[in-house]
Structure formats: structure tokens, C-alpha cells
Amino acid sequence: MNVTNPGPREIYVVLSALPYLPNEIGQLRRAFAPAEFIEAFPFDDDAIAAALNRADVALLTSDIDDRHLSAPNLRWVHCDKAGLDRSARHAIFERGLIVTGSAGRSAPALAQHGFYLALALTFDARHLFERQAARQWGGIPGYEQRLALHGKTLGIVGFGHTGHEMAALGKAFGMRVIAYRRRSGPLPPTVDWMLSLEEGESLNPLLEKSDVIMFAVTLNDATHHLFGEEQFERMKGSAYLVNLARGAVVDHEALARALDEGQIAGAGLDVTDPEPLPAESPLWNLPNVVITPHMTPKLPERTQRSIDIIIENAGRYRRGESMVNALTLDDLYTKG
């Protein structure tokens, strides 16, 4: 989402605590020139503290913390990560701090990860690997009744960068695509049916019609435990849930019950609540769950995509234009 600044601004001192290569840092130096550009290692607390006494812009790998909130001149912080739920607190809005992130830099990889999980569930990869390790050919009861993704319905909850990429892959797999987004907007060619919170539309049609539901929604107070017992009851018994968003979007106790009781067919989880997933969680042992540890292979150009976002926002900040990937009060997260 974009946020409008109050007007054009100068940039005087920039703190960069990004672990980039010299040529990558060089791009940022040129973009912020003639501002003073201070480099610090991400964990060099003394150097960062000294720079924060003067900086009006900070480029970080982490979320914001009290050091940034108390920095006297700081006006804009860029956190080089996608999810900013840990930064989306009252204090940043009360202070008037602009906080932006790098959402979209990994969207194609995340969408592919979503389909890795969906395919692992569809093809029962867990049991196939067990048979391979045992050097056993076949032997999975009911496998001949399984249906491929082609012709099924994909439901996407959250339609930002990753949601767009999921929809494109869904179409490539020959699926019907239903999406649910916060704001209304034009229907893209990759989506057959778009639902919108802004239009007062319910998630229920997506829940009831989808064979695979993928989460690409941001975590905030409105999406915390967005999926719980009521939502699982509305899903098809043959449906799969795939979460690439944040673990707290799903009530994990309700999810474990739905999976254990066969209310839904399976789940692919790259994120959990909490993280790491505790060893005693029943999700580990359920045969219809595939878990990856919040870890997706990088795009070759991921860092450059982050740099492009920062450079774009540097220009927008100076011109007083809307900022890309900026937090708003809609993103407030106080329930975590």
C-alpha cells in the first residue's frame, strides 16, 4: 500500500545497516546523493547508535525498535523484509515515522513455494518419499483416486505481490482462480472471481468453492486468526490449506483439530504460530501436513529488487509522493 507524505523533503544523513556488496551499496549512495551516507554492520550497535543521533533516513535488515523510535531526526525507516507486522505498532504512527518494506522482492519464489506445498499434498509426496527410502514400488492405498490440480479451484487470500504471482501460476496449472483482497480494484486476467473487503464481500464463497486455499495476506489486527473453526467448517472436506503469510493468520489449535478430524484434507505450512513450531505440536505428526521452516529459496535478483524499491522510494520521499510498501493504520498489529 502507498502512503502520501505531507510534502517534498530533503534527505541529509542516511544510515545503511544493510549487508550488501560494495557495488550494491554504491547504487544506494548515488541514489541518496548528495546526502551523507553512513555505513554500519547490522550488529554493530555502537556505530548504529552514533549514526541514529544524526540520521533522518535509516536502511535496516530488521524491524524497528526503541532505538529508532527515539532517534531525534529520523523520519523514514526502510526495513529490508516483506512482513512488517512486528513494526506496525501505535508508536510509529504517533511519532509520524514513515516505515517501508521490501514486499514483492521474493513474490515469484513465494508463489512457487506455495505450489510446492500444494503439489506435495496433491501427490502425497510424504508417503512417496517414504516408499522411495524403503525401496518400495507403489503401495499407497487409494492413490489411483487422487486428482491433479488441473481443473480445480484455487482460492487466494490476500492479493498483493505474492497473490498476483500465485494467481498467474494457478492459471498456468489450468485452475480456476478466486481471490480475496482488502481494497477493490480491476479484475486481472489471471483471476476469475475477485472478492473485496472494501466492497463488503464475504470470504465465504472462496471457502466453499476452493480446492486449494493459499494465504498471501499481511498480518494485522484484522487478519489475526482470520481462519478458525468457522472457516474450516465452510471448507470442502477435500480441500488443502497452504500458508505462506504469517502463522498467526490461522488459529493453529483449530487447524490441528480440523486436520485430525478430517474436516479438511491437508495443510502445507511454511509459517506457524509460534515459530519455531514447538516439538510437542500435534501438527508435526499428522500425516496430512507438510511443514517447511519459514525458508524459501531466494530469487537470483532478490537484492537488486530490494535496491530498486529503496531507490524508487528515495525519489518519492524527496518529491512528496506516495511511498511504496509503507505501513498505514490498516496494518496495525497489536494482538501478537
- Asked if residue 182 is part of any domain, the answer here is yes
Residue 4 clears pLDDT 80, i.e. is over it: no
Q: 119-145: per-residue pLDDT in tens?
A: 999 999 999 999 999 999 988 999 999
The pLDDT, as a whole number, for residue 6 is 58
Q: Which of 294, 302, 305, 318 is catalytic?
A: 294
CB-CB contact of 149 with 212 (8 Å) = yes
What's the rounded mean pLDDT across residues 158-185? 97
Residues 6 or more apart in contact with residue 311 via CB below 8 angstroms? 27, 28, 31
- Asked if residue 2 is part of any domain, the answer here is no
Q: Which of 181, 246, 252, 316 is catalytic?
A: 246
The dihedral through the CA atoms of 25, 28, 30, 35 has a sign that is negative
Q: Assess whether 190 and 277 both reside in one domain.
A: yes
Q: 26-44: per-residue pLDDT in tens?
A: 999 999 999 999 999 999 9
Q: How confident is the model at residue 331 (pLDDT cuts 50, 70, 90)?
A: very high
Q: Assess whether 225 and 311 both reside in one domain.
A: no
Taking all residues of the chain, what is their mean pLDDT, rounded to a whole number? 96
Beta bridge partners of 58: 15, 77
Q: Assess whether 164 and 287 both reside in one domain.
A: yes
Q: Assess whether 155 and 94 both reside in one domain.
A: no
The pLDDT, as a whole number, for residue 7 is 73
Q: Is 294 a catalytic residue?
A: yes
The pLDDT, as a whole number, for residue 1 is 41
- Asked if residue 3 is part of any domain, the answer here is no
For residue 206, the enclosing domain spans 107-291
How many of the other CB atoms lie within 10 Å of CB of 98?
Answer: 20
DSSP secondary structure letter of residue 197? T
Q: Assess whether 160 and 215 both reside in one domain.
A: yes
The pLDDT, as a whole number, for residue 8 is 87
Q: Is 321 a catalytic residue?
A: no
pLDDT > 70: what percent of the chain? 98
The pLDDT, as a whole number, for residue 123 is 97
- Asked if residue 145 is part of any domain, the answer here is yes
Q: Assess whether 191 and 132 both reside in one domain.
A: yes
Give Cα 302 distance to the centre of its chain.
15
Q: Which of 198, 233, 275, 301 is catalytic?
A: 275
Q: Assess whether 119 and 206 both reside in one domain.
A: yes
Q: Is 78 a catalytic residue?
A: no
Q: Assess whether 182 and 221 both reside in one domain.
A: yes
Residues 6 or more apart in contact with residue 163 via CB below 8 angstroms? 156, 179, 181, 216, 217
Instruction: Give the count of domains, the chain.
Output: 2
DSSP secondary structure letter of residue 218? P
The pLDDT, as a whole number, for residue 139 is 87
DSSP secondary structure letter of residue 250? B
Q: Assess whether 71 and 185 both reside in one domain.
A: no
Q: Assess whether 148 and 270 both reside in one domain.
A: yes
> What's the chain's length in residues?
336
- Asked if residue 235 is part of any domain, the answer here is yes
- Asked if residue 212 is part of any domain, the answer here is yes
Residues 6 or more apart in contact with residue 131 via CB below 8 angstroms? 137, 138, 139, 140
Q: Assess whether 318 and 177 both reside in one domain.
A: no
The pLDDT, as a whole number, for residue 140 is 92
Q: 176-233: per-residue pLDDT in tens?
A: 999 999 999 999 999 999 999 999 999 999 999 999 999 999 999 999 999 999 999 9
First to last CA, the chain: 21
| Count of alpha carbons within 13 angstroms of residue 166, beta-carbon side | 34
Q: Assess whether 219 and 327 both reside in one domain.
A: no
What's the rounded mean pLDDT across residues 231-246? 98
- Asked if residue 4 is part of any domain, the answer here is no
The pLDDT, as a whole number, for residue 138 is 87
Residue 3 clears pLDDT 60, i.e. is over it: no
Looking up residue 25, the CATH number of its domain turns out to be: 3.40.50.720
What's the rounded mean pLDDT across residues 168-176? 98
